[in-house]
Copies of this chain bind each other. A is one copy, B any other.
Amino acid sequence: MTGNVKPETPSEKLARYRLSIDNMDAALIHVIAERFRITKQVGRFKAENELPPADKDREKNQIIRLRNLAANADLDPDFAEKLLNFIIQEVIRHHEQARS
């Protein structure tokens, strides 16, 4: 049957890549949605127990850990750190809303 396989056109190839990207994006959205479900519980828990919304030591350890995970997965550690900070800013905004 070799030779009967039609070669992929450039636009078919691009469409194939994009389906994979769309799957990754759906995974991303669902993981982040679940992460926020947990951090919202943490926010309520911290507000009930009068704990501060941010924890600098915890954040420092998260950043070190994620930079290592990123490096091992061939992802730019600087980008991973920027991304985590972007997400943490949103979490702190939720925590502040929870106590206002």
A99 neighbours in B (Cβ, 8 Å): none
Interface size class of A (residues with CB under 8 A): 35 or more
Taking a contact as CB atoms under 8 Å apart, the answer to whether A38 and B66 are in contact is: no
If A25-B84, A83-B86 touch, does A17 touch B32 (CB 8 Å cutoff)? no
Does A58 sit within 8 A of B, measured CB to CB?
Answer: yes
Q: Would you call A4 an interface residue if the criterion is a C-beta within 8 Å of the partner chain's C-beta atoms?
A: no
A32-B74 contact, Cβ under 8 Å, with A24-B38, A39-B21, A65-B22 = no
Q: How far is the CB of A84 from chain B (nearest CB, A)?
A: 7
- A/B interface sample: 7 pairs, CB < 8 A: A17-B38, A18-B58, A22-B62, A25-B84, A27-B31, A30-B69, A83-B86
